Amino acid sequence: MKLFSTARNRKILFAAILSICALSSKNILIYNEEMIVARCFIGFIIFSRKSLGKTFKVTLDGRIQAIQEESQQFPNPNEVVPPESNEQQ
CB burial readout 5-19, b (16+ within 10 A) else e: eeeeeeeeeeeeeee
What is the rounded CA–CA span in Å between residue 3 and residue 47? 9
pTM, full prediction:
0.42
- pLDDT tens over the chain, length 89 residues: 455 567 887 888 888 889 888 888 888 877 788 888 998 899 888 888 888 888 888 888 999 999 988 888 876 667 666 666 555 55
